[in-house]
Amino acid sequence: MANATADSLGTGRRKTSVARVRIRPGSGKITINQRPLDDFFHNVKDRAAVLAPLESTGQLEAVDVIIDVKGGGMTGQSGACKLGIARALKGHSSELEPALRQASMLTRDGRMKERKKYGLRGARRGTQFSKR
C-alpha cells in the first residue's frame, strides 16, 4: 500500500459529467452527493458500472468511497464515477493498477456529442428537400 491511512483522490470524466472521488480505508460504504449508491443510481447498469473497479480489484469491503458528481445524465455520471474510482484506487495502491488496466478501467471514454452546424437541423441532418 502506498498511503494506506490517507485519502486517495481521483477525477473521472464522461461526456459532460465530472466526478471527484475520495477513497479512504473503511468498510465498503459508497456515498454519492451525500446519498447512498442505491438511492442515487436507480438503474442496475449504472450501479454495476460504479462498483466494477472495486469488484475487479477485490476492494469492495475494504474502502469507503465518497463521490461528488456534477453535469450530464445518469449514464455519463456513472461512467465518470467508474473512472474516478479506478484512478483513486490506483493512487491508493499501485499493486491494483495491472488489474484495472487489464479491465480497461483507466481509459477515458472520449466520445462527446457532436456540435450542431449552421444550415443543418442537427450535427449532420440537413433540411428536408421541397420540390415546390
47 CB-contact burial (10 Å; exposed 0-12 / middle 13-18 / buried 19+): middle
pLDDT of residue 2: 55
pLDDT of residue 6: 84
Given a contact cutoff of 8 angstroms between Cβ atoms, the answer to whether 67 and 36 are in contact is no
Architecture of domain 8-102 in CATH? 2-Layer Sandwich (3.30)
pLDDT of residue 29: 95
Task: Walk along the chain (132 residues) and give the pLDDT tens digit of each residue.
Answer: 455 568 999 999 999 999 999 999 999 999 999 999 999 999 999 999 999 999 999 999 999 999 999 999 999 999 999 999 999 999 999 999 999 999 999 999 999 999 999 999 999 999 999 998
The neighbouring-strand residues paired with 13 are 18
Q: What pTM was computed for the model?
A: 0.89
Cell of 73: 445524465
Backbone phi, then psi, for 122, in 5-degree steps?
Answer: -150, -150
